Chain A
Amino acid sequence: MKQEIHFVTGKGGVGKSVVAAALALKLSQAGKKVLLVELGDQSFFRDFFSLSQVGFQPVSIRQNLSIALWSGDTCLREYAGYLIKVESLAKLFFDNAVMRAFINVAPALPELAILGKITSGPRKHGPPLPFDCIVVDAFATGHFKALLEAPKGMAQAVQFGPMGEQSRSIDKVIRDKSMCHYHIVTLPEELPLKEAAELSQDLKDEFDINAEIILNKILPVPISVEKVTEYTKQEDSDMKDFAIYLQHHMQRQTEMLAEAEKVTTNLRSIPLFFEADPWKLTSLMAEKL
């Protein structure tokens, strides 16, 4: 079976991490062996799921579901170790102050290392990654675009040598529709939706990727707009303020849904759940995915 890779992105604050976790949970419940990957230096899920530790090496947190935290630095370190094979030399390379300063800001290098690791399965390059699915809780919109563009940019800048070669092979995988799936999470609000729409268009234009847009936190209102409007007019109703709030909210949701439909045919909605328990919340969301 081919390894599936799912990228989950969106504007900051839209709930993409929880959507990523829900997607990973859903896939694991379907019997697939899933790795949920966080990017960066600090783990959100460690606090969220009250885990004792989340690090570079995957740890199992549920049946069929493991979690890992990957940064450019740790991916590069592993990759260099894998290629160099001489541990002392790899150590010399990474512990050197100058190289550290360089790696910290090197254009596209951390991005390449991360994508290289994520796509190492299909490319059969690097240490083995024994999972059927990888769900990446990826960077927010802007940084995510930079992540995807890194291989293409680097392949253009560096035509020869291993870096150019790897860049081309990574670029090929992230465009492969049979392997990679893209999910852009947004809220029914102007700014997140605008970012989602722009990203979706960019992915289409530059990579021929048809990303799915997930409208998160749709407030489920159990009565009709007409009824709600009625309550907003009743002077004596103690539900008046609440009804006005709901009316605004419903109007905005309808507008935003129409906006989203203009952008894509690949659209899904997740309701807002008033659930504080992290696993329960994730399960509820997984059911809707």
Chain B
Amino acid sequence: MAKKASRPGRRLIVFALLIAALYGGVAIGGVWKPKLGLDLQGGTRITLEASTATGDAITPEKLAEARDIIDQRVNGQGVAEAEVAVQGSRNIVVEIPGKTRKDLVDSVKQTAQLRFRLVAAMAPGRPSQQPSASPSPSASGASGSPSAKASGTGEKATAPSTAPSASPKGRAISGGLLAADQKKKNKGATATPAPSAAPSALPSAAPSANAPSQKGAPVDQPLQWMDNPGEEWLKKFAAFTCPEPGKPVPPVVDRKDQPLVTCDSAGMKYLLSASVIEGTQLTRAEAGIPQNEFTWVVDLSFNSEGRTTFADVTRQIANATSPLTGQQKQFAIVLDGTVISAPVVDQPIPNGQAVIRGDFSQTEAQTLANSLKYGALPLTFTVPVVSEEGPTLAADQLSAGLWAGAIGLLLVIIYCLFYYRGLGLVVVASLAVAGVITYGVVLAMSQAVNFTLTLPGIAGLIVGVGITADSFIVYFERIRDEMRDGKSMRVAVESGWVRARNTCLAADTVSLLAAVVLYIFAIGVVKGFAFALGISTVIDLAVFFMFTKPMVTWLARFPFFNTGHKMSGLSPEAIGIDRISGGRRPSVAGGKA
């Protein structure tokens, strides 16, 4: 007999070591329960689909960037362990386990929109500011009221600072905005801008600003409007309050052709003009340290259209003072309705190359640059599916799925024992080993690649049981066929193996092909199913090669099997022949031949 095959023990030991290694790896992670999908533990899943309506190509890079900002948004709202993942070529899936959170849907699906708006007025947006419907919240008003709890704005808020100073998170600080070629350190953050320093005359329509008319300037002319917003908007501004620092900013409707009242993360509230520059006109935003400097800045570049507008706007607001508030004019960069930066302009910027300065740390600068970049993303999203799974229902489904698995497995075992008798034990043992490995792999996968077990995933594993059992059936039937050809069991085990192995490899390849293709191309529930199916197919092969075959080879040494005991499943009767060759003859022959 083939020497190679006569050492089943070695393979079994290697296999046992592999399993031990698998569980050793899992033990390092120390997590003994697989991650459950939302359909099994309850929670909210929001699927976002990038809209092609804008005509922009949806690239994986853009999707990844969008994923990051959504991640920031969700997790920034104090939701622990929300998963945000790109799925397929157009989808981003947000999964928030635990209690269902409908309130997140709106904030998540909000498109990342970046806009440059002009600041008509700003004030600490805390409730301590008595909501007096003062039509003109002047700068003095803002500075006059102590910042009280507005810890975020700090001492600088008491001065009518032109720049909302360091937020506690250090996010979106603006020191000022300078022409790229200007090396002078901007001191824009200091107050008392000289009104006289405005060289370029204000638009002639503006001068009446100190006494805002009822109507205000037309909304579609932001430069005029910022000097004269009209009573209606000033009232809205006055009535507006920002939430506590750290609390999510309530979603505001951010329409580009309408003025906006909103906050920054430091708790300052702003009255902003209609959008002057869209994020899509921004071509580049990068954080870096310019030569000969030591502080982080953010570089901006605009496309040609944006450059023209930007030059025009900066020319008119550079070093100009707002007639409304007496502060230096500034504009605000608004991302998703929240002011992320409100820089003043030192001088006109004609070439579209701008630098935002401030006391940025590296992270702050990069965050701002990222936000600017994200905002410039043209990807807009629709929300095709929001599903919220109640924890009770989820638990029901988990137990139902497990029951189905248990029942199915039991039936398979019963059938195999009934039909294959002794060999059925090999099936049972192999399935048990496959089960142990599957659990280990699922654990390892959930640690390594964040695999979560979903209901379709469980279904995939259960279907995998069928595929796994099929390998044994192919093999056992082969052994019987070989024995029908007159081979002894020990020979049949080896010669049958060669053919059965090839058959199983071919068939499993098809199965695996299906799983991989499904995994790559499919989305939604299909994906989890395909993954589980793929895992169980691979495990099937491993068990078949490393466990079942050595096991059968080993068992073939026992007379119980190789003489065709009645209960071995390989008796002459079971195979349908008269006598097993190779084994001992029935006792009548007398003695061992």
The answer to whether A and B come from one shared complex is no
Q: List chain B positions with a Cβ less than 8 A from chain A.
A: none
